[in-house]
Amino acid sequence: MATPKQEARGLFQKGVEAVLGSWPVLQIAVENGFGGTYSQEKAEWMVGAVEQYFQSNANLEQEEVEDFLAELMNNEFDTIIEDGSLVQVSQQLCLFFSQCQQGDREAVHEAIARLKQKAKAAKMAAAKSQPAEESSSEEEQEAEEEAMDCSAAPSMNGSQPSLSPPPGPDGGEDGWTLVKKKK
């Protein structure tokens, strides 16, 4: 049978896993391979590293946790976090650690369930919006290609420069053609 200290440590690890699993910055980094081919493994390793950081350091301040997470994200995923989420994630981790140390397991279990539900809902929403995003980005890309194709639309305005070279002596020996405005 596990001791209360071991139970608290296991619960805290589940809490860390839930917090990091619902952290959009980390999920985006993993999904887009910011950590290379082993991005998922790095995210899983990060859970243990954060848990060990708390266990090895007494009386951690929230700012220390923020700095540690920022360093991990920078070193492992080449990601600098500027969206303010480090504060929220650090607060949640510090709260979980404190609650686990005080034996308030029920509050931690409830918070973990909420975080997992939130992460699941976010993944479902992302999966539903994916096809719509792809089709709209294809349409945008086609529109950009058409806009970049200078010969696709003739000039409607008389004051616009001519897109075709004027015949005659305007062509230089170096192969360049001078384009002038119509007067």
Distance CA 30, CA 24 (A): 10
pLDDT value of residue 153: 46
- Give per-residue pLDDT as tens, 70-118: 999 999 999 999 999 999 999 999 999 999 989 888 998 899 999 888 8
- Give the pLDDT mean for 169-173: 56
Residue-averaged pLDDT of the chain: 79
pLDDT value of residue 117: 86
- Give per-residue pLDDT as tens, 4-41: 777 888 899 999 999 999 999 999 999 999 999 999 99
pLDDT value of residue 10: 87
Which of 90, 1, 25 has its CA nearest to residue 53?
90
Distance of alpha carbon 112 from its chain centroid, rounded?
A: 22
Which of 122, 172, 97 has its CA nearest to residue 21?
122
Weakest-pLDDT range from 21-25, 40-44, 163-167: 163-167
pLDDT value of residue 119: 79
Q: Model confidence at 60, in pLDDT bands (50, 70, 90)? A: very high
Encoded tokens for 93: 């981790």
pLDDT value of residue 178: 73
